[in-house]
A and B are shown apart, each in its own frame.
Chain A
Amino acid sequence: MKVTILQFPGTNCEYDTQHAFEKLGATTEIVWHKAESLPEDTNLLVVAGGFSYGDYLRSGAIAKFSPVMKAVTEYANNGGKVLGICNGFQVLTEAGLLPGALKRNDGLHFISKHHTLKVENNDNIFLEKLNKGDIINIPIAHHDGNYFIDQEGLKELYANNQVLLTYSDESGDVKNPNGSVDSIAGVCNKNKNVFGLMPHPERAMESILGSDDGVKMLEGFLAS
């Protein structure tokens, strides 16, 4: 299993992501955004979190024009598995590989804390190790995590089971930290090969550090 991790100027979660996947037994390679192709043996491409291009203009807006993004789009369109975490999610929505957009948090504050999430759909490789309705504890750390999609797009997400995770309290009731439409924390594309979420599963790999619920999420990719 080979995990390729993208690095833009301003990315800061690439080494956490590398550590997380290596802990699970994968081999990893960090690829600089100037690359024009991806390693041929890539089984999963991760767009890691951070602040690509300092979030200038909009989060992810400039990264989508990096040379490597052409190869990413081609890889995704050919069915390759892509995971965008936090800023990676923003980049994937800006690039049009995932529906919707991420706005400034409703409270206007940067939020950095552990948050419980509810698994909404698990009929996909990412969450297949979890059960629908499971509550997991994963850190969030974002300023622009307020997921927006219009009503028509939202209907389509529900019709195709594309809503992956929602923010909730510990008993599974809605608890919305940032104003996201329907408290959505993560979505996938229609073909279920491109995934994006604001929370950081790669930061929830050790119970001694607060949670190891990220293990079950990332393991889904290794099993497939």
Chain B
Amino acid sequence: MTTAIINVSLKAGVLDSQGKAVHHALDSLHFEGVEDVRVGKQIVIKLDTDDKTAAMNEVEKMCEEILANTVIEDYKIELI
């Protein structure tokens, strides 16, 4: 079995309002040295294969078709 961990977040250059709000909150709590905050979402998918190449191809297709909106979002896939 292969587990795919997919992180979807807004592209660099697309304003992340939630990240900005969290950044603001961290500042209010006096956490110093926070340069930037981005908020994304994580999707975990279990696949019934041990073939990592095949799994990667399949998950990439999923990301392009539905899991991310590539107009505004980037995705990163990690297989374990």
Residues of chain A with a CB closer than 8 A to B66's CB: 57, 61-62, 65
Contact assessment for B17 and A148 in the assembled complex, using a CB-CB cutoff below 8 Å = no
**Chain B residue at minimal CB-CB distance from A105:** B17
Contact assessment for A179 and B15 in the assembled complex, using a CB-CB cutoff below 8 Å = yes
Question: Is A172 positioned at the interface, with any CB of B under 8 Å from its CB?
Answer: no
Using a CB-CB cutoff of 8 Å, which residues 16-58 of chain B contact chain A? 17-18, 21
Cα distance A105–B15 in the bound complex, in angstroms: 11
Q: How many Å from the CB of B10 to the closest CB on chain A?
A: 7
Residues of chain A with a CB closer than 8 A to B10's CB: 103
Please list the residues of chain A having a beta carbon within 8 angstroms of any beta carbon in chain B.
Answer: 57-58, 61-62, 65, 93-94, 100-101, 103-108, 146, 148-150, 179
Besides the known contacts A58-B69, A62-B66, A179-B15, 15 further A-B residue pairs in the complex with CB atoms under 8 A apart: A57-B67, A61-B69, A94-B69, A101-B69, A101-B71, A101-B72, A103-B15, A103-B17, A104-B17, A106-B15, A106-B17, A108-B21, A146-B17, A149-B71, A150-B71
